[in-house]
Amino acid sequence: MDVNKLRFAKSHEWAHLDGTTATVGLTQFAVEQLTDIIYIELPDVGDDFAAGESFGEVESVKSVNDLYSPVTGEVIEINKALESDPSLVSQDCYGKGWLVKIKIDPGTNLNHLMTHDQYQQQIASEGH
């Protein structure tokens, strides 16, 4: 996926909007900070989340971290492949390693999230 078409949350999740479905994943930066991902806890289909709310956890050999929804809506699909192979997030975080798909309200946009350039500036400003 073209990272320039994605939007980014300060908590290091990305979102891609297709109609009323937002695909959500972890950024390359987050994956590199976590190193070896060994487990991912995802929500159930049908769960509702507000933007900024925790929807699961990612566990690496270093730490356990919350995953935060960059959008408000209902989970309509989870990436079941991650149950048996959480390393897909490390291998292809913007493709096969997506986390969830969330149905958002019609007319909702991702303007509250950062562009790729803005996200890169945020990472740099944090001293990474």
Q: What is the pLDDT of residue 1?
A: 77
Strands of the sheet with 64-68, listed across from one edge: 37-41, 54-60, 64-68
The predicted-structure confidence for 15-42, as pLDDT tens digits, reads as follows: 999 999 999 999 999 999 998 999 999 9
CATH 3.40.50.1370 fits 3-107, yes or no: no
pTM of the model: 0.94
C-alpha span between 21 and 101 (Å, rounded)? 6
Q: What is the 3-state secondary structure (H, E, C) of the chain?
A: CCHHHCEECCCCEEEEEECCEEEEEECHHHHHHHCCEEEEECCCCCCEECCCCEEEEEEECCCEEEEECCCCEEEEEECCHHHHCCCHHHHCCCCCCCCEEEECCCCCCCCCCECHHHHHHHHHHCCC
- Summarised one tens digit per residue, pLDDT across range 82-123 is 999 999 999 999 999 999 999 998 888 899 999 999 999 999
Q: Where are the domains of the chain?
A: 3-107
Could you give the CA distance from residue 121 to residue 125 in angstroms, rounded to a whole number? Answer: 6
